[in-house]
Structure 1
């Protein structure tokens, strides 16, 4: 399944998708930068841009952004049901609604996009429609939610670190800077895996079947791995962060994620005033995903050109 999705991902026009993401970001941000009013970056920029990118990747019809954002939020909050039992019922209801959307996509799938290619190759690979269904749901939901989170976290970092803003504006550092923003404040704080064979880590024996939670956000600030881990170092090399997983657990959509976040950051920082906080960011209680659900920002005009 992973191989099928990975090959299909590489066959998609990722540069064109990145260009479309940039065009939409430019349109939204240009409108906001001309206004003296503040705006919610998460709702007005990150969500529509992320939704466009993921839908173009899959080759599906784009649902209304506010409606889908509500579904995605309910499902991602459901991952924390062990801590907050009250979020489970809304998550199950949202999953039912998302399944209806996926059924519509499967029935109306044409010959474009990743989903079409995966469905075409699934039978030859011995994969069931249900397995493709589940993976498509995960890819769509995770691709949207993590892209929103990564974009919002990066925008927050830019707005609260003037030196970083100036560095991005004055030099071409985004090729490495995108990964540094994700390391510094990645959207996924932790993930759980099942141990497949008895393993010893230090003095601890992990038995087959035991659940292990990797705290990715903590690992990305490990002082033994990263010099000055609490600082944003846009030229950091090497940068073996875990924001997109690693190895066999690496994110299949990592290439597109980097393209999308870079397009957004270029749009935010190019030919506009400085991005500043216009109020306190607001966060819902979540343990798995970390990003501001509401991020009030504004652009302050430069008095002199750079």
Structure 2
């Protein structure tokens, strides 16, 4: 923007300016008046054209500086940046700690203490714990925190029975309809369960186990069924009271081996073997 130069202050008016009588200027001829009128009109047109050109120049200059101009089409507003949910991360961490036996059944845990453990405030921990309460993993203890639910072998057996009622008929139906090349796609997931079982980490194996079962059931095309089965599977993985590590490494390896055998039978379309394997798999479910 051009800066204007301030004028000098007037400290006095010369006497000759006030003393001199006003002079009337000589009036121009009619031809001169017409010529002056035409000249002023032409000058006005040039000034208007120059103003429009200057406006376009200002628009171009503004556009090059990244400013919005009237002739410029508005750029669509970008979508908000998606940020990772702290609550979701804490929920995953609590689920892992629950399966690994780090959260003891019957014990009460407060949100502020767990928040210090995870390096976050108590709010996302409290929200994650409320989700676990909806899933049946913990219960709210007023003014204290959340108590991990104490579960026994009867509840685990009931969960295994419900899972079998849902998954076994689906797997048998899929064994008759899904082509062998589709079952081959699950080979990396079955191998992943074997590696996870070999590590002896219950939490690692629990995640790979659910991943394999979700992928297997997904061939049915029923998302609601897959979600319900996965929720039941997750609940079946919670530790029992008094036995945070009910299954050792050998049990995990044997369970993972059943995945490999089941996949081999599905690829071979051996329905008798599939029927026997899926029936036995849930009796020793994690």
Structure 1 and Structure 2 fold alike (TM over 0.5): no
TM, length-normalised to structure 2: 0.22
Q: Kindly indicate which of the two structures has a greater share of residues assigned to helix.
A: 2
Q: Kindly indicate which of the two structures has a greater share of residues assigned to strand.
A: 1
Higher-RCO chain (CA-CA 8 Å, sequence separation at least 6): 1
